[in-house]
Structure 1
Amino acid sequence: MPSFDIVSEIDQHEVTNAVDQAKRELGNRWDFKNVEADIEKDDSGITLSAEQDFQLEQLEEMVRMAFAKRNIDSRALSEGGESKSGKLVKKQFTLKQGIETDMAKKIVKLIKDAKLKVQASIQGDKVRVTGKKRDDLQTAIAHLREAELDIPLQFNNFRD
């Protein structure tokens, strides 16, 4: 019986490359000369720091552009808190991975509401969709791509 999995994953190596690319751009920009600004990546996510709020917005835009160049969906960045320490303003971003239970239930409901001849089941941090015909599965994929979900979805493990 044909099936596929719906997952939400990010290639950490590409995220590191995107952050490095944004750092290089930060070093080359004339409007950041003699300005204390930085982009840091750690296990929990990405931290941006700058002296002014508008510079922080520029840093965020640089990171999002670097993500786009590396084919990483910017919806994977979840905005954390903004804090001020000394003369720096910092902004935290966490990287969303996996499908949470609430979102998985929403995906299953979308598939069921579409009245397709497929079954969706939640399996940990992914959703497995099975059906009798390959065309029904491809219709389910197209339906989910059109839906406005706030997480990036990948469709893998397609089996006949």
Structure 2
Amino acid sequence: GRISFLVLQILSILLYNYYTSSIISSLLSKPPEAFHSLDELGHSKLEIGIEDLPYTITWFEIMNDSDVQYIYKNKVFPPNAKKLNIYEPDEGIAKVKQGGFAYHTQLDTGYPIIARTFDQEQICDITEIPMIPQVGAGIMLQKKSQYKELFHITLRKIKEVG
């Protein structure tokens, strides 16, 4: 009884020591290098491609954000290039998988391709940077409309669920 209790105590201390050192080690380790902003992405060595969507090229051309303009003029349509870096989603995401490439596409187009072609470790290694800012939705109603609460609940559900 006493010997098994002593062995159990020693094993518990060793196990506790192992897990706490593992947690501290992970907290002290250098975070993975990932891009967090369009500025970092634009000034990186990555080649950037886009999906040919009706609004994408127009959005790049009219957007006033300096980071977006830098990416468009130097990465998507480099000065010496004869054409835009436009790729079909399968081709663009395949280039992302090879490395050294960033690709702009719709989430509902890109995620199924990524799920189908990437393994779990590769999925963990990729980073998503939102390029087009989200725009809030709103509905105009009369000041004391009977539908105000109904629309309020519906818009909240749309925001939470999509």
TM-score by length of 2: 0.20
The structure with the largest strand share of the pair is: 1
Q: Which entry has the higher C-alpha Rg, 1 or 2? A: 2
The structure with the largest helix share of the pair is: 2
Q: Which has the higher contact order (CA 8 A, sep 6+)?
A: 1
